[in-house]
Structures are given as structure tokens and as C-alpha cells.
């Protein structure tokens, strides 16, 4: 019985020809993300900003978001964020951080007094300034250390050119993932950190598979041109890439559609991350070897042994 093939076994598709478009595109998106990150910033959740979060359920089944926002702002605690969840009378209200425990207590007292008659309080979370500051510090340290550990692994895992390509691809994936948070305004909280670290792992997995095949082919074919070698590496692993990417994509799509509001943000970011990582392994990390190889060794250099990237004129 013939097994299902999502990618032809004897494919010779020329992926490298797209590098003249994908490199400028990735560079533009990365620069735009950095600019937006510095100007607009992330939509930090209560974990990092501190304050009080209240989820309300309208007893009548419908809720007037505008009226709730007007009432909450009238409390005098500052600008309050109010958003509807799912369109079933669920409303999420975020009150700004107030000084001291008495300030947070006052928020809840006024909220109950104003909304008890028409709403049911389904969830209440309060994070003080000390806790939010510790979470920011711990989350930042955790992400930085994890990324540094991955980059060190890549540096010792591969030869110089391959390591540089893998590092560039991983950083590219992290930057574009942050761009998803910035553009979509999905709340950035502790779950978001878990999403970023998961995407880093997925990116590492995709890159290592392709580069392992690249290194294997370099040892087998000593004089093959660089472009042909890299195309062969991608084509020979493409069946696995399509299978893995499709499985992850469909699973995450199900979470986005049916997982509910609690994990919707996480699922959307992960869904976008799978696409970014797959794109990066094929159109960023691998083509980068052409440019870094030529830059380090000179154009039209002959193929070398010892695990180095074969050089050839384009």
C-alpha cells in the first residue's frame, strides 16, 4: 500500500530563487516590528502592569459595553479597559493599579456596588505593584536565559556558517512573534512567555532538521554548488516539514476556533509562530548560508571539506 505523500520524493523545486524577495521582506518586517515595539509597545496584561481584573456575566444575557465603561470610569480610578468576551454578555474589566491594598479593596467595593444588580462576578484577579514587578523581572530573565542557551547550543551544534544561519533564523522568529503581539494587541502575560519559548523550540527543531541534512550532503557531495546543495537539503526534508507543520497548524487552529477565550491569545500566537518558523527555516536561515559563506570565504571559492558550506557563484 502506497503511503500518503504531502511532498513529492523526487522534487527539485528551486527555493533559493526566492531569497531576493524573502530577505528584504524579512528585514522590513523585523525593522518595522522593532520600531512598533519601541513606539507602541506591548499590551501588557495584569500580570505585568498590576491592577484588578474582573470578568462579568450579564444576568440578562446581553450587556452594554459602553454603559459599563462609563460607570467604571466614573469610579475615579483612572482609565478603565472594558471589552466584550464572546458576545454572550461576558465583559472583561481592567482597573488600573491603585496604591496600597486599600486602593485595590476600594476598587472591588465600588465594582460590587455598581454591578451586583445586573452582573454576576465570574472571575476576579488582583496583582499588586510588587508582584507585577517580580513577574516582569522573572519573565524577562527566563526568556533571555532560554534564548541565550538556545543560541549557545546552535553555536556548538553546527559549524560556523551553519551556526550563524541558525542563530539569525531563531532571532528572526522571536522578533516577528513579538510583532504579532504588537500589531494584534493580544494581551502579553505569563502565558505569552510560554508561547514565545515554545516557538523558540519549534524554530530550533525546524532549523536543526534542515541543517543536519545540509551538513550530511556537504560531506557526500564535495563540489556541488551552494545553491544546488541548499535546494537539495530543503527538498529532501520537505515531506517531514509539511507533515509536521500541517499537524501543528490544524491542532492550533482547533484551539483558536474552539478553545475559548482563556487560551485564544496563546493559540493565535502559536498558530502564527508555526507559520513564521516554517517560513524562516526555508527562506531565511538556509539562504543566509549563501551570503555568509561568500562573505567569509570570498565569492566563487571552491567547495571545501570539513563541514563547511560549499561555495559557488550565483
Q: Name residues whose C-beta falls within 8 Å of residue 204's C-beta, 6 or more positions apart in sequence.
A: 150, 153, 154, 166, 170
Grid cell of 295 as nine digits: 562573505
Instruction: Region of 81 please: left (phi>0), alpha (psi -120 to 50) or beta.
Output: beta
Residue 118 has pLDDT above 80, yes or no: yes
Of the pLDDT bands very low, low, confident and very high (cuts 50, 70, 90), residue 297 is: very low
Ordered structural domains, the chain, with CATH: 15-44+132-297 (1.20.1640.10), 51-127 (3.30.70.3400)
Rounded CA gap, 160 and 183, in Å?
A: 35
Rounded CA gap, 63 and 91, in Å?
A: 8
pLDDT at 2 (0 to 100): 55
Radius of gyration of the chain (CA): 25
Pick the residue with more confidence: 305 or 189? 189
> How confident is the model over 78-100, as a mean pLDDT?
77
Rounded CA gap, 149 and 151, in Å?
A: 5
Of the pLDDT bands very low, low, confident and very high (cuts 50, 70, 90), residue 302 is: very low
What's this model's pTM, rounded to 2 decimal places? 0.75
What sign has the CA pseudo-torsion 229, 230, 232, 237? positive
Among 202, 203, 195, CA closest to 285? 203
Of the pLDDT bands very low, low, confident and very high (cuts 50, 70, 90), residue 251 is: very high
Give the number of other CB atoms < 10 A from CB of residue 241: 18
Q: In whole angstroms, how far apart are CA 231 and each of 24, 274, 279, 290? A: 20, 21, 14, 11
Q: Residue holding cell 462609563?
A: 70
Rounded CA gap, 196 and 169, in Å?
A: 14
> How confident is the model over 139-164, as a mean pLDDT?
83
Q: For the chain, what is the largest distance between any 2 Cα atoms, rounded to a whole number of angstroms?
A: 80
Residues for the chain: how many in total? 314
Rounded CA gap, 140 and 193, in Å?
A: 9
> How confident is the model over 55-83, as a mean pLDDT?
82
Q: Residue holding cell 550530511?
A: 216
Residues facing 58 on adjacent strands: 119
> How confident is the model over 173-180, as a mean pLDDT?
93
Report for 62-66, 77-81, 82-86: range of highest mean pLDDT: 62-66
pLDDT at 226 (0 to 100): 82
> How confident is the model over 34-44, as a mean pLDDT?
90
pLDDT at 176 (0 to 100): 94
Rounded CA gap, 49 and 126, in Å?
A: 11
Quick one: what percent of the chain has pLDDT higher than 70? 87
Residue 294 has pLDDT above 50, yes or no: no
pLDDT at 190 (0 to 100): 80
Amino acid at each position: 500500500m502506497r503511503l500518503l505523500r504531502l511532498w513529492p520524493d523526487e522534487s527539485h523545486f528551486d527555493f533559493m530563487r526566492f531569497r531576493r524577495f524573502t530577505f528584504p521582506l524579512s528585514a522590513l518586517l523585523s525593522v518595522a516590528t522593532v520600531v512598533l515595539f519601541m513606539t507602541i509597545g506591548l499590551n501588557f496584561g495584569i500580570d505585568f502592569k498590576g491592577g484588578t481584573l474582573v470578568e462579568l456575566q450579564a444576568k440578562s444575557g446581553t450587556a452594554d459595553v459602553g454603559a459599563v465603561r462609563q460607570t467604571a470610569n466614573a469610579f475615579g480610578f483612572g482609565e478603565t479597559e472594558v471589552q466584550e468576551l464572546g458576545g454572550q454578555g461576558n465583559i472583561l474589566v481592567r482597573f488600573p493599579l491603585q496604591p496600597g491594598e486599600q486602593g485595590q479593596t476600594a476598587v472591588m467595593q465600588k465594582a460590587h456596588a455598581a454591578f451586583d444588580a445586573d452582573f454576576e462576578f465570574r472571575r476576579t484577579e488582583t496583582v499588586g505593584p510588587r508582584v507585577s514587578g517580580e513577574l516582569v523581572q522573572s519573565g524577562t530573565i527566563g526568556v533571555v536565559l532560554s534564548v541565550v542557551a538556545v543560541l549557545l547550543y546552535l553555536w556548538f551544534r553546527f559549524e560556523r556558517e551553519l551556526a550563524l544561519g541558525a542563530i539569525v533564523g531563531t532571532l528572526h522568529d522571536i522578533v516577528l512573534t513579538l510583532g504579532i503581539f504588537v500589531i494584534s494587541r493580544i494581551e502579553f502575560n505569563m502565558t505569552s512567555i510560554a508561547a514565545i519559548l515554545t516557538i523558540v523550540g519549534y524554530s530550533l527543531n525546524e532549523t536543526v532538521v534542515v541543517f543536519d541534512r545540509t551538513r550530511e550532503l556537504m560531506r557526500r557531495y564535495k563540489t556541488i554548488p551552494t545553491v544546488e546543495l541548499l535546494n537539495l537539503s530543503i527538498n529532501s526534508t520537505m515531506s517531514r516539514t509539511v507533515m509536521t507543520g500541517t499537524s501543528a497548524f490544524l491542532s492550533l487552529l482547533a484551539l483558536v476556533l474552539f478553545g475559548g477565550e482563556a487560551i485564544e491569545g496563546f493559540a493565535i500566537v502559536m498558530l502564527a509562530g508555526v507559520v513564521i518558523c516554517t517560513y524562516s527555516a526555508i527562506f531565511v536561515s538556509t539562504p543566509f548560508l549563501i551570503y555568509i559563506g561568500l562573505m567569509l570565504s570570498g565569492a566563487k571559492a571552491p567547495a571545501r571539506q570539513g563541514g563547511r558550506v560549499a561555495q559557488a557563484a550565483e
